[in-house]
Structure 1
């Protein structure tokens, strides 16, 4: 079922049971697998793959007042890989080269940068901003009004909370600065600011802001050292800041961070 106002590009594959709504734009070389629902005002850019039984452009709360879908666009960037049974709401913008696992939910008013990965069963609760090259692993909950900057790693079962005195209507999101790492099973309390290159240890309950390049662990979390003191258990070499020791999937993969950054600075100067 394809609405007559939908714009379908070249070399688009649409499998059985797909429903495409009013004013949908599907660019060239997009693949839409079985049973997807693409609601009104969704724009899927070229080269993207939409897995089976996804719902794109899901209704916002204003639909349920009169059961009329209002103007809430969803933009999916180029070469995105969205796996089965994702639900992505309207009023959302997702950058190029996005990848998701299975059964991911992304609520309204979310802005996601380029080269972001979100793992299976993760839940982005809307009104969030996620930067470029962010990796969010499986079963992660990102509370409303969270602000996650570029090159952040968030590992499985992490929760970013937002309600200081639940239940209330005063939500305060978590801010995570670039290159920070939040390890498995951590809980970040409302309004916390995790600064650049910080490392949150597995299972930590973070109740205070975390300074730059600081390691915190425990419940409640406590500062134990600078990230620069952490060594690889096998080689004994320094590990952090991680951008100098890890490059798989990063824009400096073909060289190293310093070379890439210096070249980038020269290009910006031009």
Structure 2
């Protein structure tokens, strides 16, 4: 029996994800988004309804792709992944054809590597991680589950990013730095010191401006 692939979310990130899947030759069965116009299409793929559509879909031969973005909080992405995993669904991982990815990396379930990304040897991506457009991840970095690396980010070697962290567009993290769980690094920040759990940091050099509650 052939597999079915459903994209969850029809917003900006969802459209980019869908475009990448189609470019990779992956046939997408439909898009699920309660806010999208029913009976419509997105890039030629039908919008089938909200998540309730999956109530009548077997998880045995169906795969999901997380199309929710981060703004910068990632709890919606994390929650939908967790809920659908408890229902028995599997999330598909993918990488854009233009991404340059070492063969010596580890990539967990539901990871997304977008256009123009570079990932070097020894990198670990845990489940539900996004490495967004043109980000650069150097050797031996560890990106923990549900973290979101925004477009144009540069992580130098041996950086560790704890679970559910967000690193904003164009940020730079120097080697051997740890970014804590649920931390938010603002766009364009230059991180030269460890970022504790839950801190929000911005600027060059990055400094704390708040806590991610």
- Shared fold (TM-score greater than 0.5)? yes
> 1:146-185 to 2 correspondence within 5 Å?
146-162=141-157, 173-185=158-170
Deviations 1:92-133 (A, max 9, x none): xxx961122230111032000000111101011111111000
Deviations 1:140-194 (A, max 9, x none): 10000000100000100000012xxxxxxxxxx0000000000000000100000
In the alignment, does 2:110 pair up with 1:110? no
2:181 to 196, 214, 221: 196
1:141 to 117, 136, 140: 136
Hey, what's the Cα distance between the residues in 2 that align with 1:221 and 1:135? 22
In the alignment, does 2:204 pair up with 1:219? yes
Conservation of the 8 A alpha-carbon contact between 2:24 and 2:96:
no
Hey, what's the Cα distance between the residues in 1 that align with 2:197 and 2:122? 25
Instruction: From the superposition, tell whether residues 118 and 80 of structure 1 become closer, same or farther in structure 2 (CA, over 3 Å).
Output: farther
Query: What TM-score, normalized to structure 1?
Result: 0.46
- Report which structure shows greater RCO (CA 8 Å, sep ≥6): 2
Deviations 1:25-63 (A, max 9, x none): xxx87xxxxxxxxxxxxxxxxxx98937xxxxxxxxxxx
What is the SS of the residue equivalent to 1:215? Answer: strand
What is the SS of the residue equivalent to 1:225? Answer: strand
Instruction: From the superposition, tell whether residues 153 and 115 of structure 1 become closer, same or farther in structure 2 (CA, over 3 Å).
Output: same
The structure with the larger Rg is 1
In the alignment, does 2:24 pair up with 1:51? yes
Size of the alignment, in residue pairs?
136
2:92 to 97, 109, 119: 97
Unaligned runs of 5+ in 1: 1-10, 12-27, 30-47, 53-77, 82-94, 163-172, 229-270
In the alignment, does 2:119 pair up with 1:124? yes
What is the SS of the residue equivalent to 1:209? Answer: coil
Query: What TM-score, normalized to structure 2?
Result: 0.58
Hey, what's the Cα distance between the residues in 2 that align with 1:50 and 1:200? 31
In the alignment, does 2:191 pair up with 1:206? yes
What is the SS of the residue equivalent to 2:204? Answer: coil
Hey, what's the Cα distance between the residues in 1 that align with 2:183 and 2:141? 17
Conservation of the 8 A alpha-carbon contact between 1:131 and 1:149:
yes
